[in-house]
Structure formats: C-alpha cells, structure tokens
Chain A
Amino acid sequence: MRRLPVLLATVLVLGAAGGGLHVAVQPGWSEVELAQVRSLSLEALPPLPADPSNRVADDPRAAELGRALFFDTRLSANGEVACATCHLPDRQFQDDLPLGHGIGQTGRRTMPIAGMAYAPFLFWDGRKDSLWSQALGPLESAVEHGGDRTQYAHLVAERYATEYEAVFGPLPDLTMLPPHAGPVADPVVAAAWEALPEDRREAVTTVFADMGKAIAAYERTILPSETRFDAWVASDAFPKAGLLSEDEIAGLRLFLGEGECVNCHNGPLLTDNHFHNTGVPAAPGLPEDQGRAAGARLVREDPFNCLGPFSDARPEQCGELRFLAPDGEDLVRAFKPPSLRGVASRAPYMHAGQIGTLDEVLAHYASAPAAPEGHTELRPKALSAEERAQIIAFLGTLEPLTPDVKRLAEAPSRSAALRERSLD
C-alpha cells in the first residue's frame, strides 16, 4: 500500500555511495547528529513511567515480596522452576538459549528484563500490556511454571501471608479450595476450577493478579546500567574517539545512517517497543508464529489487561490498549525489537533464537530475505564486511561497564590519555 519501488533503487545507490564515505573520512558531527547520538544514551532515559494499572508498582514492600516470588521455585508444577530459572540475574535476566526451558520447552527466546518497565507491551508479540500481567502468563503455562491459581494462592497464604497482607490487605478465605485448580491446559485442574463458585474464583484470581503486581514492582527496579557508550557520550572527549575507538564510532555512524538500525532501535533503550516483520526465518519444528497479529488480539482479550477487572487503572489511563493497531498486514509475523543494551553478550538472537551470531544477524539485515509470511520491512543494503564489523564493534560498546572502565570514566582526571588507555 505504501510501497514505493523507486525508493528501493535510491536507497541502494545511496547505500553504496554513503558506505564508502563513512569509511574513508571521519567528518565532524552536526548538532542534529549529536542530538541523535545523545538520544541513545542513558542520560536521555526519562523517569520510570507510572503504571496506573498496578497500585503497588512503586511500593518497596511489594518489590521485596515480588523479589522473593521471582526466585521461588515452589511456584511450579515440579518445585524446580522460578522466574529466575529462565531470567538469570547474572545473565541479563535471560538464559542464553534459543528457546526457554521450564517444565518443558517454550516456543520463544527468553527476553531480558532490564528497562522492560518502559515497554507498553510485553513479550515478543506484545500479548500483555503490563509487567504484572506479563508475569502471570508463564505461571500458568504448561511448559513454563506449569502451576495453577489455587496452588499459588495456597503458597502465598502459607509462606507469604504477612508480606502479602501488608501490601494488599487481608487474604481471602482459601479453606476448602482444591490444591490445584485454574484455567490451565490440564483438563483435571481446569475442571476443578470450573467447579468453583464464581466469587471464589474471583477471590483466588485477585491473589494471583496481586502476585503479578508484586513481581512487577520488583521488575521495575531492574534497570539498564551504564555502558561504555553512555560514558563516552558523557565524557569531555565526546564526540571524539576516547572511550570509543574510531572503528566503534564508524559503526555508530552506520547504525544511524546507512544501516538504518536506528529506525527500530531508537531511544535510550535502543528499541522503539513496537513490532516489526524483518523476514526472520521460521524456527524449524515450531508451530506457525503470527507474532503481533496474534499478540494484538490476545492482549485485547486478556482479562488481566489495563481495561480488565483486575487492573487498578481508569479506562482513560489505558491509552496504549485503547489505541493499539488491532489488525493489518503490518502485524503479521511482526516481533518486538529487544533493547540492544547488552546484546553483544546475549546470543542467540531473534524471537526463537534462530540466528547464532551478530555477524549472521547483520548478514540477514543486509540481504533482507523475503519473510516466511507477511512482508519484511527490510530492504537489501550494500554493507561491506568491514562495515558490518564496525556496527558489531559499536554494539559491543553497549555492554555494561566493567569495573576498570567505570573507574576510569569516573576518575577525577578526565584526561583523554586515561580514557584511551582504558580501551587496551
């Protein structure tokens, strides 16, 4: 509909000409360019947005309860799976696997958590619209935690009653409730749930939603940390080489320019938090994945969404949900770009870990293959091997600072010599 074939040729010509230009010279930066670079830095990160759907989002007691729940393996069918099983704190809260492994194997790559509180939609397909509703999904998934609502409510009553009641008020009466009941895939557990009176189901579901709200309060405290790129932007040397090498800066220019990476990876979290079909191949052995086309439907149907009965928001505070694009060709096999902070140490890539290395990712973006379904937003790019290496070098500057570099970046003497030595 909005496709202009003429532009393709223009882009290719400019791509070839522009690529050579960036490698050959190191021109200065215009104010517009500098503003765009600064917009990627942590200094540009706005305050954490409020979550009106979660009244305890910023309650430290809720965060403490949520932290305990996040690491509690009793929240599972076999006593071995916690949120932290796949969201490993020392691994950027992800698991380095192509597909997540809980009770069974999921159909998607585990996403990192830092800065997710800024995302209007969660999961690769955005089928949840808050951190708290996101946290509830895996708890009831047969292949992730594999548990159910009455099991979780009983656990809260037995192990966390004091902490829960301090935040949310009195627990409902859970006596006579079956040990396992909930709207899950297991037919026995689902039948037990259906057999409960509606008011009891609602009471249990309220506890369940509150667990999500506590976990969300904890996850809101997981924020991106300073990287070498951020330190460079904040340094006296900026925009000259220093904490970043000439190659890394050349990679940044390509990232903003001919690579057009910044189209989707923009802002201080280096994601636009939207959904894009980039022609990523289907993962062998997995069912068809419609991406956002399914996610947009699921989030509107979700009883835990911003407009639902367990949300604390007023309808007018649910703008993202009220005005989401519900359907259309753009949504088919569209997935959310993850933040590129920490991406270099977070292989494999894409929504089902289909691509093993950043070099292969760049090769994919340069060749722009047709999408398995829907239409890719990519167009082929004439990026040389050197240019791809420079973009990857830039991505490497988005790793959290090592203590040594951090010390140098914060040293009272902000001399260029020190900064350059830190690159050794």
Chain B
Amino acid sequence: MTFPTSRRALLLGLPALLLAAGTAGAAWMMRVPSDLDLSREKATEAGLYMAAVAPVEEPVTVGPMHAWTVTLTDRDGAPLDGARITVDGGMPQHGHGLPTSPAVTQDLGGGRYLIEGMKFNMPGWWELDLSIEGPAGTDSVTFDLVL
C-alpha cells in the first residue's frame, strides 16, 4: 500500500494519538478534545477523597453491559468504607446521558465498590460521573473515557 509520506506519518501516528487523547482536526473518526485527562485515578473535585475506577473485565468495548469497581480512600489514604455512590455520565459531544442506569450493587470492603449496569453504546468520548457521600461530606469526580 502506498500513499504520500506525510499522510502515512499522520495515519501511523493516529492510534497513539487516539489512545493518548484523541485528535480534533486530523482524524475523521473522532473529534475528541486533545486535553482530556484519561487517568482512572483522581482526587474528587473538592479534594475530599481519592477515587479510582477499573473495569472488572478488559477491554471495555462498545455494546455489552459490564461492571466496574470503584476504590475510594480518604485524604489520609485510608480505605473509605460505607460511602454512598451514585453514578451518572454521558457523551458531552452528543448531548445524551448514559444508555443505562448503573448503580453500586455491592460494598466489596476495603474501600472497594462494585458498579453494575454500565454500558457504552457508541464509540467516542464518554464521561463517568460519581457522586460520593462519605464521612467528610459529599463530593464528585468525573472520569473521561475514550472508546
């Protein structure tokens, strides 16, 4: 397969770009902002807690329903048990929410919680919003995911 070198360079770089952050102008398949923080471990917005999310099974694909775990710690790094978590999210670029209504179904202990009912029905940029109610108060965190 031959095509102009500059084009090839651009296309060969595409997967890395998409994995890192997505790209706006160059790629025709996604226009995901370039400055998304795709880390799966973050401090909550007011800094009350640390939250980490992980799918129970990798890879996360478009279509099937799947479960995630959330791991919470307090400001001192101690596991946060007994928190109440609500789950929301959606596709900021498409103006719609999650296709399902996921919920925490189990407190797994050690600051870990099971979220069931997650589903992504489209490729692109998704937000996963967690609202966390714990002993230090209620705080929220948003994770950006690109599928």
Contact = CB atoms under 8 A, between A and B. Distances in A.
A325 B119 CA distance: 11
A10 interface: yes
A381 B83 CA distance: 45
Given A3-B95, A30-B12, A263-B123, A256 B28 contact: yes
Query: Which 5 A-B pairs give the minimum distances between C-beta atoms?
Result: A323-B117, A257-B28, A272-B121, A30-B11, A30-B14
B108 interface: no
Contact of B96 (A2, A32, A256): A2
A28 B121 contact: no
B25 A319 contact: no
Given A28-B8, A33-B29, 4 more contacts: A2-B90, A32-B29, A322-B116, A325-B98
B31 interface: yes
B96 A330 contact: yes
Interface in B1-42: 1, 3, 7-8, 11-12, 14-15, 18, 24-25, 27-29, 31
Given A32-B15, A266-B62, A319-B116, A258 B28 contact: yes
Interface in A262-297: 262-264, 266-267, 272-275
Q: Is the interface of B mostly helix, strand, loop or mixed?
A: loop
A325 B97 contact: yes
- Chain B CB within 10 A, most for which of A27, A36, A326: A27
Contacts of A33: 11, 14, 29
A30 B119 CA distance: 27
A138 B30 CA distance: 41
A325 B116 CA distance: 13
A21 B101 CA distance: 40
Contacts of B14: 30-33
Contacts of A2: 90-92, 94-97
B100 interface: yes
Interface in A322-361: 322-326, 328, 330
B122 interface: yes
B65 A320 contact: yes
Given A10-B31, A322-B117, A323-B101, A4 B123 contact: no
23 contacts: A2-B95, A4-B92, A10-B24, A11-B31, A14-B24, A21-B28, A27-B11, A28-B11, A30-B14, A32-B18, A32-B27, A33-B14, A33-B29, A256-B28, A258-B28, A263-B122, A266-B122, A272-B62, A275-B99, A323-B117, A325-B100, A330-B96, A377-B96
A323 B93 contact: no
Nearest to A296: B101
B103 interface: yes
Interface string A5-28: 001001100100010011000011
A1 B92 CA distance: 9
Nearest to A322: B117
Q: Is the interface of A mostly helix, strand, loop or mixed?
A: loop
A253 interface: yes
B63 interface: yes
A160 interface: no
**Interface residues of B toward A: which range?**
35 or more
A389 B97 CA distance: 32
A27 B95 contact: no
A375 B121 CA distance: 19
Contacts of B91: 2
A24 to B, nearest CB: 12
A253 B18 contact: no
Contacts of B7: 27-28
B96 A324 contact: no
A331 B118 CA distance: 17
Given A28-B8, A323-B117, A274 B31 contact: no
Contacts of A262: 29, 123
A266 B11 contact: no
Nearest to A29: B11
B81 to A, nearest CB: 23
Contact of B3 (A14, A18, A27): A27
Contacts of B63: 266-267, 272-273
A323 B103 contact: yes
Interface in A41-89: none
Contacts of A1: 95, 97
Nearest to A31: B15
A328 B97 contact: yes
A330 B93 CA distance: 14
Given A266-B122, A266-B123, A319-B117, A325 B99 contact: yes
A267 B119 CA distance: 14
B80 to A, nearest CB: 24
B1 to A, nearest CB: 5
B101 A377 contact: no
Nearest to B13: A30
Interface in B102-147: 102-103, 116-117, 119, 121-124
